[in-house]
Homo-oligomer: A and B are copies of this chain.
């Protein structure tokens, strides 16, 4: 089965917004084994949209159209689908009521324009939009099917996951339930990871096992299972997850939406330990990542970005001569414990560039982790890339080091 994607919006062509919707849909389709072979963007122009949709339907079994469902006159996706079907639009009174009710619940009067969103091509049906005013459209045309969804990513994703994917799978003769789980890893290259689990990837057809690169955030191993019930699919995934975790060990830091800082904060919280950070080249980035986690305040005391050398000395009590050294990192971590009143102190200091420092080349970074009642530990890395990449890499390296150190205590 082949499903292609048509993204609508002049702002996409002009580069004012990057089309991430078609990428997300392509990834989502691939995860359930549906082919996608062409994605297009066209502007808010009825003639060009109609032509594009008709051309795409000739090649594909289905087209998902994103965008152009808004209330204004230049939102003409409904009209384009009607044109390809050769029918008129008709007002659906039940949709109009739903839209009026959404405005009512927000204490706002509905502009009359919004009634356009209750119009659906004759013979097509509406796809409910539980979180926005624009319903989607589902239309069968000569044995093929067009789905239209809003361009707002969150609304689009919900409607694709909950309405369109099950419908596509049913059409393809699959009565299966699809369940995915992402094992998130950090610290191994894609080829290294592939080698470690090659025998599982080759052996497994259900769940399938795929790799997704997430740049500096690591690599995702995604399991996707098909079964006749959700419980069965979950069981298939759980079984394979145990095997993969056995092989991957400490490389796995979490699943699905969890970040490394989630994992580290969780490990700290289960021990009742608080965290303090001392950072130099990252200048606050490590603290900022930790502070981004909701509920961080239960564990996170704060971060001291001691950018200037004499601030390292006066605030954190660093005595090491070189600020790019093991001693400095350890003194910073201990300083973070003491000054911030934290059980655990972590630190990063090094050379982000563009120039070398203390005779150390760009990318040289020292890290330290001080746990309660234990000798502080340091480690170093020579990080690749430019200033920003070194800073980002340093932040995640330290967070991952902390996560692994805490796991090793368990």
Report the bound CA distance from A388 to B14 in whole Å: 27
Which of B20, B287, B353, B388 contacts A283 (CB under 8 A)? B287
For the complex, is A303 an interface residue (Cβ under 8 Å from B)?
Answer: yes
Report the bound CA distance from A24 to B19 in whole Å: 11
Chain A 270-307: CB-based contact to B (< 8 A → 1; otherwise 0): 00001001010111111110111010110011111111
Report the bound CA distance from A274 to B310 in whole Å: 13
**By the criterion CB–CB under 8 Å, are A300 and B283 in contact?**
yes
**By the criterion CB–CB under 8 Å, are B30 and A14 in contact?**
yes
For the complex, is A104 an interface residue (Cβ under 8 Å from B)?
Answer: no
Which of B39, B48, B315 contacts A41 (CB under 8 A)? B39
**Shortest beta-carbon distance, A313 to chain B, in Å?**
11
For the complex, is A52 an interface residue (Cβ under 8 Å from B)?
Answer: yes
For the complex, is A105 an interface residue (Cβ under 8 Å from B)?
Answer: no
**By the criterion CB–CB under 8 Å, are A284 and B301 in contact?**
no
**By the criterion CB–CB under 8 Å, are B55 and A354 in contact?**
no
Residues of B within 8 A of A290 (CB): 283-284
**By the criterion CB–CB under 8 Å, are B26 and A212 in contact?**
no
For the complex, is A217 an interface residue (Cβ under 8 Å from B)?
Answer: no
Report the bound CA distance from A25 to B353 in whole Å: 31
Residues of B within 8 A of A42 (CB): 37-38
**Interface set, chain A 328-369, CB cutoff 8 A to B:** 339-341, 352-354
Residues of B within 8 A of A340 (CB): 308, 311, 315
**Shortest beta-carbon distance, A322 to chain B, in Å?**
16
Oligomer copy total: 2
Q: Which residue of B lies closest to A23 (CB)?
A: B15
**By the criterion CB–CB under 8 Å, are A16 and B306 in contact?**
no
Residues of B within 8 A of A352 (CB): 291
Q: Which residue of B lies closest to A339 (CB)?
A: B315
Report the bound CA distance from A13 to B55 in whole Å: 18
**By the criterion CB–CB under 8 Å, are B307 and A284 in contact?**
no
For the complex, is A387 an interface residue (Cβ under 8 Å from B)?
Answer: yes
**Shortest beta-carbon distance, A106 to chain B, in Å?**
15
Which of B27, B305, B314, B341 contacts A14 (CB under 8 A)? B27
**By the criterion CB–CB under 8 Å, are A283 and B305 in contact?**
no
For the complex, is A138 an interface residue (Cβ under 8 Å from B)?
Answer: no
Report the bound CA distance from A388 to B288 in whole Å: 10
Which of B25, B45, B213, B294 contacts A16 (CB under 8 A)? B213
For the complex, is A226 an interface residue (Cβ under 8 Å from B)?
Answer: no
Q: Which residue of B lies closest to A309 (CB)?
A: B297
For the complex, is A391 an interface residue (Cβ under 8 Å from B)?
Answer: yes
**Shortest beta-carbon distance, A171 to chain B, in Å?**
20
Which of B15, B45, B274, B311 contacts A24 (CB under 8 A)? B15
Report the bound CA distance from A294 to B19 in whole Å: 31
Top 4 nearest A-B pairs (CB, nearest first) are A283-B291, A284-B284, A284-B287, A15-B27
User: A residues engaging B (CB < 8 A)?
Assistant: 12-20, 22-28, 30, 36-43, 45, 48, 52, 55, 212-213, 274, 277, 279, 281-288, 290-292, 294, 296-297, 300-308, 310-311, 314-315, 339-341, 352-354, 387-388, 391
Q: List 26 A-B contacts (CB under 8 A).
A: A12-B23, A12-B26, A14-B36, A15-B23, A18-B19, A18-B20, A37-B45, A38-B40, A38-B48, A40-B40, A40-B41, A55-B55, A283-B292, A283-B296, A283-B302, A284-B284, A284-B291, A284-B303, A285-B285, A287-B305, A291-B391, A297-B307, A302-B304, A302-B307, A302-B311, A303-B305
Beyond known contacts A22-B41, A284-B287, A302-B304: 12 more, CB 8 A cutoff:
A13-B26, A13-B38, A16-B212, A19-B19, A38-B48, A282-B288, A283-B287, A283-B292, A284-B288, A284-B290, A300-B308, A308-B341
